[in-house]
Every structure is written in C-alpha cells, then in structure tokens.
Chain A
Amino acid sequence: MMKQQSDIPSVASHVEQRHPISMYLKVWLLLFVLSACSYMVDYFQFQGPLRWTLILTFMFLKAGLIIMVFMHLAWERMAVKLLLFLPPFAILVFIALMSSEADYVFINRIMSFFNP
C-alpha cells in the first residue's frame, strides 16, 4: 500500500503523495464514465428498484474514487481512516430513525387528512 521512497525522509514519505499523473487521468476518465452512466439512468428512464440500485452503485463508486484516490485516503494510516469512517455510522443510524419517523408521519397524515 505505502510506497517508501529512499530519497526523502521516512516521515515525509507518507505525508507527501507522489503518484504518476497518469493515475489521476485514469481516475478522472473513470469518474467521467461513471457520471455518464448515472446520467443514462435518468435518460433511459429506468424505474423502481433497478433505478435505485444503479444510482447508489454509481454514487458509491464515484465517492469511493474521489475519497480514496483524489483525497489520498488509500495511502493514509489506519488511524486516519478510522477517524473518518467510524463517525459517519451515526449518520446511518439517523437515516434509519428519520425514515421510520417519516413513515409514521405519512400514515398519520393519510389517516387524518383523507379519513375524517
């Protein structure tokens, strides 16, 4: 994972990121293709679970590429990855709470607005 360079001090080796430009160009191209794919999901009007699966797949692939390669997280130490990836689990819990709350509000609205 981590490349040790001999010409610079060891501490700097994982602080400074040295990668070939071609790597960035490839990821850039990949992001373009993935964005085009997610646009096609709308263009061809896929509906239902297929649409949601495709949207989420392309979204997570793009997000992963940006975080891991462009933001260099793939080359950071595990402690940094934990710092950034553990707290967002609270967000997942919040999503679960709020979606069940939204269902509850929806059912209540249906019952009181349309069932006098």
Chain B
Amino acid sequence: MQNDDHQKDHETNKASSWQSVVNDWSADKQSFDMPWGKLMMWLFLLSDTFIFSIFLISYMNVRMSATVAWPNPSEVFALTIAGHHIPLVLIAIMTFILITSSGTMAMAVNYAYQGNKKKTVYLMLATALLGASFIGMQAFEWTKLIVEEGIRPWENPMGANQFGAAFFMITGFHGLHVSAGVIYLTVIAKRINQGKYDKKGYHIVEITGLYWHFVDLVWVFIFAFFYLW
C-alpha cells in the first residue's frame, strides 16, 4: 500500500477532506491507515460508547417517568469534613483524580514515541496508581451509601426507588472499566519494562492510552448527567 500513488494522494489531498475519505475507501487497500490493534481498540470503544449510552438513556427514562421526587445528588453525595458540610466533594475529588490520570497517560504516550522507556513506564504506573485511588474512593462512596444511607437497587429512603438501580448500574459498570484499566496499564507497563515492545514499536502505549482516556471521557458524562443534573 505504500506505493508512489499512495504517496501522491497524501500530498494532493488533505487528511481532513472528503476526497481523502473517497480515496481511503475506494482504493484496493486497507481503509484505515493505522496499526490494527489501534483500529480494534477504536471499534471496541465505539461499541462501549453504545453500552454506556444505553445505561444513561435508561437512567434518563426512569428519572423522567418517576412520579416520586428524585433524590438531590448534591445532598446525597455531600460529606462533612472538619465540621464543614460540602456538597458533592468526594465526586469532585474523584473527577480531578481521573483527569490527572488522563494527563499522566497522555504524557506516557508522548514519551513512548520519543523512545523514553523509563519515563513511559513510570508515567503508566502513576496512571494506574491514580486509577486505583479512584476505585478506593468509589468503594468508600458505595459503602457509605449502602451502609449509612440504606440505598438499595430496589429502594431508597430519600425518594424515587429507581435512583439506586441507576446509580449502582452506571457507577458500577464504570468502576469495572477503571479496574480493568488499572490491570491493563500495569500489565503493559511491566511488559514494556521487560523490553517486549523494543522491536515491535510503542504503539501499544497509545492503544492503552485510548482505553484510559475513554474511561475518563465516560466519567465526564456520568458526572454531568448523574451527579450534576
């Protein structure tokens, strides 16, 4: 596929033009010019987008159709720290942690392409550590809601019963993704450290990064629709 015609296409057609789409799909070659692992990750993330959308849409559906008042998330997730009652504070901290982990991941990808193995491994491990602390806080939040507030998937003392079902399903599925991401990051960081990608190239770091950024991206939507709305 890397012949002279292809080369010319690159120069005459901008990558963001419609002509480039026609070229990519009509020629007798692969349509997506990227490592297959990266394309597969994009396709997986696209399908995952649909799964999370279905959760959020069903949450919208039950919230709109509930005749009992929806609990105020601002109050449900408030914490009293040193005598101060702060609304939604734990969720805000979790948001900042996840964004920070996305930042360290983006830098890991950058250092990987520069060939700086040591910094890549350290930044990936930092990302995994931040992810693990996110899960820890989520475990704390779940415990508080289940034990202290008495929220269950089928009932809760603060209002609409559907609140519990939506909360546990959405944050649980996201937490599962974070947990999987932490394991994924640790495994890949270990393999990079062992030098298993020295010959193959470091695209694996960008692929891992795509997954991690997606987990952060989903949290942006959960934060907006579940916690703030």
Query: How many A-B contacts at CB < 8 Å in the complex?
Result: 170
The answer to whether A21 and B110 touch across the interface, beta carbons within 8 angstroms, is yes
Chain B proximity mask over A25-42: 1 for CB below 8 Å, otherwise 0: 101100110010011011
Residues of B within 8 A of A94 (CB): 53-54, 57
The answer to whether B64 and A52 touch across the interface, beta carbons within 8 angstroms, is no
Stretch of B137-145, B178-186, B190-198, B213-221 lying at the A interface:
B213-221
Tell me if A50 counts as interface (CB < 8 A to partner B).
no
The answer to whether B46 and A87 touch across the interface, beta carbons within 8 angstroms, is yes
The chain B residue with its CB closest to the CB of A90 is: B50
**Minimum CB–CB distance for B177 against chain A, Å:** 15
**Minimum CB–CB distance for A76 against chain B, Å:** 8
Using A63-B217, A91-B53 as known contacts, say yes or no to A78 and B34 having CB atoms under 8 A apart: no
Cα distance, A42 to B184, chains bound together (Å): 34
The chain B residue with its CB closest to the CB of A105 is: B65
The answer to whether B14 and A1 touch across the interface, beta carbons within 8 angstroms, is yes
The chain A residue with its CB closest to the CB of B217 is: A66
The answer to whether B87 and A43 touch across the interface, beta carbons within 8 angstroms, is yes
A residues with a Cβ closer than 8 A to B are 1-2, 9-11, 14-19, 21, 24-25, 27-28, 31-32, 35, 38-39, 41-43, 45, 51-52, 55-56, 58-59, 62-63, 66-67, 69-72, 76-84, 87-88, 90-91, 94-95, 98-99, 101-103, 105-106, 109-110, 113-114
